[in-house]
Amino acid sequence: MRAEIISIGTELLLGEIVDTNTPFLANQLSLLGIDLYFTSAVGDNAQRLSGVLRQAWQRSELLITTGGLGPTQDDITRDAIAGLVGEKIEVNEELKQHIINFFARRGIEMPQSNIRQATLIPSATAIPNPQGTAPGWWVEKDGRIIIAMPGPPGEMQFMWQNEVFSRLQQRTGATFLSRMIKTFGLTEAKVDELLAHLMPSSNPTLATYAKLDGIYLRIAAKAARPEEAQEMISRREADVMAILGDVIWGVDDETQEGIVGRLLVAKGLSLAVAESFTGGFLTHTLANAPESESYFKGGLIATSDEVKVALGLDPQLVTGKASAEVATAMAILARRKLGASIGIGIEGESRAESVSGMVPGTVFIAIDSEQIKLHTVQSYSGRLYQMRRRAAYYALFDLMKLLRSI
């Protein structure tokens, strides 16, 4: 079944709101294994909406619309669908009573305009909307399905989850499963090159995504039974692991900070951070991990040598130049001062090369504990906030590898 999502509303074309309905529905369709080839947005204009619907009707079997079911003159989705299938709109007494009751519960008489929301065409059945006054429409005609839902995300999602999803699931036989594999340290082009022979496969499929915390790989498989799909994914995952090895750090919704936290808890260790270059991004990332209070002690963020010395760094060491030695001293300082078993220090250079004698974006990362002594030098480019994020994720990746090895 080929599906198409159409978002309706002029506000979408003014950039005043971000359409979160489309990604929600796209994700849900992928869970159902329904192919989604197109999404579009169109304003509250009868002619243009009709054009978009007509085209979708020609190229897709399932049309999902959001928006345009309100009570005002601007809400033209019902009329456009009626026009598309050549049917006449009529008031439905049961729906009318439902809307009258909805207002009565709030002590209000139904505004006359809301009668528009109590209408159907012969091919449509109403989809209940306990969250609002606009019922959805489920239209079946000529081997095609149109599902029209309201635009407010709360109403739409409730309707989808309670009514639409299960009905669609009954229509699709197959099972679809997917797995996200997360890597760090290779460019997207490099990952693509290494896996080039696996990329053309259409089942399971393999796709790459560039994120700030690395390159992600998504394996998706379609099969008659869940076990089969799972088996296809496991086999492809093994292929990928054999090639990429230890650049893989996690899967699905795992985060680097979450894995680091889990490893620290499992080993009874705790962590503290001292940052200069990254300006608190690493501390903030670690503090935001759920339950992190149990292993993350905190951070010391210094923006100048003066402050580094005030926090306890040896003035002899702090000479205005970023170095592995300073990063290491910061790691030790964080660990001792905040009473953690492991310290991370991040130091770097963002000034021009003519000032510092170093390529801007050069970052020194040190990890220090009783057992571990590690430091690395990396070089990043891009905007400062991107370099900061990459450096922080690099430190997490380093720590993760270390924790897995001990």
Residues between 28 and 67 that touch a copy of itself (CB under 8 A): 28-30, 36-43, 45, 48, 52, 55
The answer to whether the beta carbons of residues 224 and 175 sit under 8 Å apart is yes
Of 24-32, 313-321, 341-349, 398-406, which part binds a copy of itself (CB under 8 A)? 24-32
Site string for a copy of itself, 243-282 (x = CB under 8 A): ------------------------------------xxx-
**85, 156, 301, 329: which one binds a copy of itself (CB under 8 A):** 301
Residue 357 is a binding residue for a copy of itself (CB under 8 A) = no
Q: How many CB atoms lie within 10 A of CB 354?
A: 6
Residue 101 is a binding residue for a copy of itself (CB under 8 A) = no
**92, 162, 208, 356: which one binds a copy of itself (CB under 8 A):** 208
CB of 406 to a copy of itself, least distance (A): 23
Residue 379 is a binding residue for a copy of itself (CB under 8 A) = yes
Structure token digits, residue 178: 């997917």
Q: For residue 364, how far is the Cα from the chain centroid?
A: 30
Q: Which is nearer to a copy of itself, 83 or 360 (CB)?
A: 360
Of 121-129, 159-167, 236-244, 302-310, which part binds a copy of itself (CB under 8 A)? 302-310
Residue 315 is a binding residue for a copy of itself (CB under 8 A) = no
Residues binding a copy of itself: what is the number (CB under 8 A)? 98
Structure token digits, residue 274: 């001292």
**Cα angle, residue 269 at apex, residues 347 and 378 outer, rounded to 5°:** 25
Residue 304 is a binding residue for a copy of itself (CB under 8 A) = yes
The phi-psi region of residue 188 (left if phi > 0; otherwise alpha if psi is between -120 and 50; otherwise beta) is alpha
Binders of a copy of itself among residues 318 to 337 (CB under 8 A) are: 337
Q: Which whole-number Å values give the CA distances from 95 to 127, 131, 209, in the listed order? A: 10, 14, 46
Binders of a copy of itself among residues 115 to 144 (CB under 8 A) are: 131-132
Residue 269 CA to residue 261 CA, distance in Å, equals 9
**90, 167, 209, 314: which one binds a copy of itself (CB under 8 A):** 209
The answer to whether the beta carbons of residues 330 and 323 sit under 8 Å apart is no
Q: Which is nearer to a copy of itself, 259 or 302 (CB)?
A: 302
Q: For residue 382, how far is the Cα from the chain centroid?
A: 23
Kind of pairing between the strands at 214-223 and 90-91: unpaired
Residue 24 is a binding residue for a copy of itself (CB under 8 A) = yes
CB of 10 to a copy of itself, least distance (A): 6
Q: Which is nearer to a copy of itself, 187 or 234 (CB)?
A: 187
Residue 378 CA to residue 95 CA, distance in Å, equals 64
Sign of CA dihedral 156, 159, 161, 163: negative
Phi, psi of 149 (to 5 degrees): -125, 160
**193, 227, 252, 314: which one binds a copy of itself (CB under 8 A):** 193
Residues 6+ apart with CB under 8 A from 95: 117, 118, 119, 120, 126, 135
Element (H, E) at 331: helix 324-337
Of 68-76, 242-250, 259-267, 317-325, which part binds a copy of itself (CB under 8 A)? 68-76
> Looking up tokens 């809301």, which residue turns up?
114
Residue 242 is a binding residue for a copy of itself (CB under 8 A) = no
**58, 106, 197, 242: which one binds a copy of itself (CB under 8 A):** 106
**234, 293, 319, 404: which one binds a copy of itself (CB under 8 A):** 293
Structure token digits, residue 354: 């003519």
Q: Which is nearer to a copy of itself, 203 or 304 (CB)?
A: 304
Structure token digits, residue 119: 């209408």
CB of 283 to a copy of itself, least distance (A): 4
Residue 154 is a binding residue for a copy of itself (CB under 8 A) = yes
Q: How far apart are the first and last CA of the chain?
A: 50
